[in-house]
A and B are shown apart, each in its own frame.
Chain A
Amino acid sequence: NAGVMQNPRHLVRRRGQEARLRCSPMKGHSHVYWYRQLPEEGLKFMVYLQKENIIDESGMPKERFSAEFPKEGPSILRIQQVVRGDSAAYFCASSPDVSSYNEQFFGPGTRLTVL
């Protein structure tokens, strides 16, 4: 059973470009979470999605960031007009349901570098 897949693993963008990060949840999981880890910091929650729905985006920056989890295909975290401060590791996690257990399984992360 493949784990959570993220690609690319490393992404380099110049300021002003767009970054697209993809996450395929574990088989049978319909809940996806995105977290961001800045250097020397812990992971910070960004957004929680179910198929075709954003459930909680309280951690998303108000501008330039968006996320989707379509009916078919991976979840996408999109960052428009990237700036140097967006350089970070972006982790995706998935879970099978929204029971009280909330165990989340993490992917390997995408390391975004903005030049």
Chain B
Amino acid sequence: AQSVSQHNHHVILSEAASLELGCNYSYGGTVNLFWYVQYPGQHLQLLLKYFSGDPLVKGIKGFEAEFIKSKFSFNLRKPSVQWSDTAEYFCAVNADGNNRLAFGKGNQVVVIP
């Protein structure tokens, strides 16, 4: 079964700082990769996704992620965070189109104004 690892569960940073959240998965076949965000009191929303093509994916709100197949990684980045980026971020993997999403444990990000 595929598994997804996210490190540094709690991240605290100041506005304008850069953010990078790591995501590693343990599956060697074809994968679809996702980052979801959950703002306080809201439901999960899709930030960005990778299916194929350019491994550098741009999402909403200035986020981007890079798929590095050799490292089984799909790290999320944002050059300059805002207070409104305070949220929990989940990496998710779908393997071989089996319709199950495997999620990491999430990163709780707090941006201090």
Contact = CB atoms under 8 A, between A and B. Distances in A.
B43 A55 contact: no
B43 A3 contact: yes
B36 A106 contact: yes
A1 interface: no
A64 interface: no
Given A42-B4, A42-B105, A43-B103, A102 B97 contact: yes
Contacts of B42: 108
The main secondary structure of chain A at its interface with chain B is: loop
B51 A42 contact: no
B7 interface: no
A2 interface: no
A56 interface: yes
Contacts of A35: 101, 103
Nearest to A58: B100
A8 to B, nearest CB: 15
Interface string A87-112: 00001010000101111111111000
B64 to A, nearest CB: 18
Interface residues of B, number: 26
Given A103-B46, A108-B42, A45 B104 contact: no
Contacts of A4: 43
A40 interface: yes
B103 A56 contact: no
B68 interface: no
Interface in A37-55: 40-45, 48, 55
B99 interface: yes
A43 B34 CA distance: 13
Contact of B99 (A3, A102, A109): A102
A109 B51 contact: no
A106 B97 contact: no
Please list the 4 inter-chain residue pairs (A to B) with the smallest Cβ-Cβ separation, ordered nearest first: A42-B103, A106-B44, A108-B43, A43-B103
